[in-house]
Amino acid sequence: MQSQTLSAPLPDNNDQRRQLVAKLKACPPNEAAALLVSAEPLLACAALAELNPSFIQDILGALPDGQRQTIINSATPQLAHQWERNRVFEYGTIGYFMEPTYAMFHPEMTVDEAIEKLRALVKTVFITYGYIVDAESRLLGLVTMRDLLFAEGKTRLADIMLSNVFVFQPRIAVPEAMKLMLSRHYPVYPVCDDQGKLLGLVRGQVIFETTAFNITAQAGSMVGIDKEERISTPMLRSFLFRHPWLQLNLLTAFLAGGVVAMFQGTIDQLVILAVFLPVLAGQSGNTGCQALAVTLRGITLGEIKNGDARKLIAREGMLGAMNGAPVGVVSGIAMYIIASAQHSTHAPALAMVVFLAMVGACTISGISGALVPLTLKRFGTDPATASSIFLTTATDVVSMGLLLGLATILIK
């Protein structure tokens, strides 16, 4: 994620900083870190402050220890503290995306005093809400800019603040946070620990961007494209991202080839079966991809609860059978026509083999399409990672194995 945040606590508007920011946004974290190594610490810090918090953490993590500490030391104390704090939290949690909280006020402060403080802050920081905290930084409430505008100058903030504020815990995952946001749509959310201490802020825009990025990355992940890869990624880096997965795909393809080799004798006697191998592989593959897409969507949106996995697998298996039956009828008729045209004495049996193989392959493909991502998730792996590669292997092996195996049993 490389989108700019609206919080820029280091007031530096020169052309050099803007050029560096533009270059950083166009690079993956490792290349951005390399750019910062040769930059002045103050310039590097000012440029970093304009980036998305998660991208800042990626860049800082890619910097050598000494250079990273030099840049952090050049930041304002509040920003440096926030960067160090964010590093405690894992990527994908709300804490990883936090920004510093600048507009913090005590409940006894008056409206006039708060506005005077805001006049200095808004020159360098985008302020949406003012947060009311006690002496130990525990969140008591918030005030909106509208309330400050219309309240009497001597009014205490405690008298106009909104209490019972909705907050995020720092370790909550972004997908879970996204579900909680859907009924709220606030521009900014405070982040508090278990004791109610205000740790920072997270912008709704950042959560939406992160979710959108993860969803768009799923299509690439299913075929082994790394989330870090972009159109601008150098060719060698793209090669290193993609090639290992192609080697894995080659190994799994050998499994499907091995199944065909097992039934070489059957194919030699009934060459017509070779015509229908890609037909079954294609239909079963599409069936599996449909189940995979629905399952990934359910995982992403949190629709799959504990205990729903078996129901989902059974449902997709049943749908596979229901879809496979009419497709199998059409395929069986086609086999009968082709076999009869070649004067084969096995035309009825071949038609039945194709029908049964299509129903069985689509059924198992539907089950596999749901089972693969659920299994990856259970083992703590991204459910979209290379799912398509594993699913393709399963559907090819099953479809070809069923067709050739049934032909061997029913005809030979």
Enumerate the domain spans of the chain.
15-87, 104-219, 242-410
> 319-377: per-residue pLDDT in tens?
999 999 999 999 999 999 998 998 888 889 999 999 999 999 999 999 999 998 888 87
CATH superfamily membership of 104-219: CBS-domain (3.10.580.10)
**CB count, 10 Å around CB of 182?**
8
Least confident of 52-66, 73-87, 193-207, 211-225: 211-225
> 211-257: per-residue pLDDT in tens?
766 655 554 444 444 455 555 566 777 677 677 777 877 787 787 77
Question: Domain 242-410 - what CATH class?
Answer: mainly alpha
CA-based R_g, the chain, Å? 29
> 30-66: per-residue pLDDT in tens?
888 888 888 888 888 888 877 777 778 888 888 888 8
Contact 362, 307 (CB under 8 A): no
Least confident of 35-44, 255-264, 279-288: 255-264
The reply to whether 242-410 shares the fold of 104-219 is: no
pLDDT at position 302 over 80:
no
